[in-house]
A = this chain, B = another copy of it.
Amino acid sequence: MTVLILTSEEDVTADMVVVHLNASGVPVVRLDPADLPGGVALSGEYVHGAFRGHLSAAGRLVSIGGLRSIWVRRPGAAAARAAAPSDWLTEEASQALYGMLRGSAARWMNHPDAARRARHKPWQLHLAQRCGLPVPATLITTFPQAARAFAERYPDLVVKPVSGTHPQDPPLAVPTSRVDPDTDFSAVAHGPTLLQRRVAKRADIRLTAVGDRMLAARKATDDADPREIDVRFAPSTAPWQPVEVPTCVAAGVQAYLRDAELAYGAFDFAEEADGTWWFLECNQSGQFGFVEVDTGQPIALSVAEWLAAPGPERPSRVNGRGSVTR
């Protein structure tokens, strides 16, 4: 049974995991959908009520029925490197590849449907609430009056994008910024705006969840310049250090992963002075290399072990989400 890794050629994070998989002797096929058709080829046959499919990459042939797990790391768009690329060819190649893989019994990290759903920030906030994780008071609105009323109740505010990364090429991360409560909120009518009570944090928490395993890291912040609130843009003053996961957070995170049907998630929390971990977001494809480098936590190894676990989770499922078929 083979591990399939879908990612671009240059991916140091994938390299870290492949080292562990190779050490354990588990067969690995790594390919970029951008190379289909071309360096990657596929064939699937539906005859006499059964499916038989194969993928070929770098001279290796693997049976789709022989996949134990599929890691969707950072795949390129299908057919992006084809001799004559086009939107149509990308669509055809994508549907052929993922359509076949979706019929396999392999375990996914993460399943494309779960991954897509998990990117919706409003849905994340709702799910975190339901799972008992503390969520800072948040408003997403196109009503200026609602924004004004919220700013009166929570005058110490930040604004951040609803959807995360700005879809330019290369993608532009939009920093979280503070906003004055007496701001003119009339522009809110021109685009949904996410306002959130600012957490006066004493540390940032990155919790990386891999299956049932949770590895949390903490980076102290001095909150000296309260304008620098986005850890991605602040100059690094302290290293990430391993930290225990409070029991109630662990239960919430496990519930979140189960309901979100995610095998991997990178959770960001803000730790307040009273010790509360406030849920900010869960990135289903979050990087983990920088945490592993600082903390020495075995995240790549955990990913490798999850991918290498024997056999499909539910041998008879067809839709990758546990629905048992005849």
Interface residues in chain A, defined as those with a beta carbon under 8 Å from any beta carbon in chain B: 36-37, 41-51, 56, 79, 82-84, 87-89, 91-100, 102-103, 113, 116-117, 119-127, 129-132, 135, 137-143, 146, 150, 161-163, 166-168, 189-192, 255, 258-261, 318-319, 321, 323, 325-326
Question: CA–CA, A197 to B83, complex, Å?
Answer: 29
Q: Is the CB of A259 within 8 A of B191?
A: no
Prevailing SS type, chain A contact patch: mixed
Q: Is the CB of B43 within 8 A of A127?
A: no
Q: A19: shortest Cβ distance to chain B, in Å?
A: 31
Of residues A82, A120, A131, which shows the largest number of chain B Cβ atoms within 10 Å of its Cβ?
A120
Extra contacts besides A117-B319, A259-B319 (16): CB < 8 Å: A42-B192, A43-B139, A45-B150, A46-B138, A46-B139, A49-B135, A89-B191, A93-B192, A95-B163, A95-B192, A99-B122, A99-B162, A100-B123, A102-B117, A260-B319, A261-B323
Given the complex, which residues of B lie within 8 Å of A98, measured CB to CB? 120
Of residues A82, A125, A130, which shows the largest number of chain B Cβ atoms within 10 Å of its Cβ?
A130
Given the complex, which residues of B lie within 8 Å of A87, measured CB to CB? 167
Q: A320: shortest Cβ distance to chain B, in Å?
A: 8
Question: CA–CA, A163 to B125, complex, Å?
Answer: 34
Q: Which 7 A-B pairs have the closest CB atoms?
A: A99-B122, A103-B126, A99-B120, A96-B192, A43-B141, A95-B163, A46-B138
Given the complex, which residues of B lie within 8 Å of A93, measured CB to CB? 191-192
Question: CA–CA, A125 to B167, complex, Å?
Answer: 34
27 A-B Cβ contacts within 8 A? A37-B191, A41-B189, A44-B122, A46-B138, A46-B139, A47-B138, A49-B129, A49-B135, A91-B163, A92-B162, A95-B121, A95-B122, A95-B163, A96-B140, A96-B192, A97-B192, A100-B126, A102-B120, A102-B126, A103-B126, A113-B113, A117-B319, A123-B319, A126-B318, A130-B318, A259-B318, A259-B323
